[in-house]
Amino acid sequence: MSTARLPGAKTSSMRKIFSIIIVVVLIALFGFLYWRYFFVYAEGTKAGVLNTIQKKGFIFKTYEGKIIQTGFSNSPNAAIQSNYFDFSVSSERVAKILMENSGKEMELHYNRYLGALPWRGMQSYVVDSVYRIGNAKTNLNAPFQ
């Protein structure tokens, strides 16, 4: 008994396997890109004195800021140390509020991503709202967004 094969049977199965591999690679690539650039890794608040907020960039103009946080050091030579919190701002409205209140104590809400996108900002920390401005002890009823 001899079994006859059709001439196109082998190329058809190879084409099917190649298509499945392409689909799996594309799904893995999109999953990785989502995880790296759009998945919120952490969120929280930071408080300190707003040192600077500026709009900068060559192609994509984004808002970048810096907060100075004071704290205590473990070093015996320095009793107080300053920590800087560098961040990007996602909303032009929030950036305007920050620009109007530069130099004041404030509390900001941020989302942390694993990677930065050029149109979202240069930092992985992206501020999306302001909880408190000044030395008020109570939080605002609704954050400035």
Alpha carbons 106 and 131: distance in angstroms, whole number: 7
pLDDT in tens, 9-39: 677 888 999 999 999 999 999 999 999 999 9
pLDDT in tens, 39-67: 998 999 999 999 999 999 999 999 999 99
Least confident interval from 65-79, 91-105, 117-131: 65-79
pLDDT at 89 > cutoff 80:
yes
What global pTM score does this model have?
0.73
pLDDT band at 125, cuts 50/70/90?
Answer: very high
How many residues does the structure list for the chain? 145
Alpha carbons 52 and 86: distance in angstroms, whole number: 10
- Each domain of the chain, given as residue ranges in start order, spans 8-38, 40-133
Give the mean pLDDT of 60-76. Answer: 82
Sign for the CA dihedral angle at 105, 67, 141, 143 comes to positive
Q: Which two tokens stand for residue 55?
A: 């709009």
Choices 2.130.10.10, 3.40.50.10800, 2.40.50.140, 1.10.510.10: CATH for 40-133: 2.40.50.140
The Cβ-side half-sphere exposure at 89, using a 13 Å CA radius, reads 27
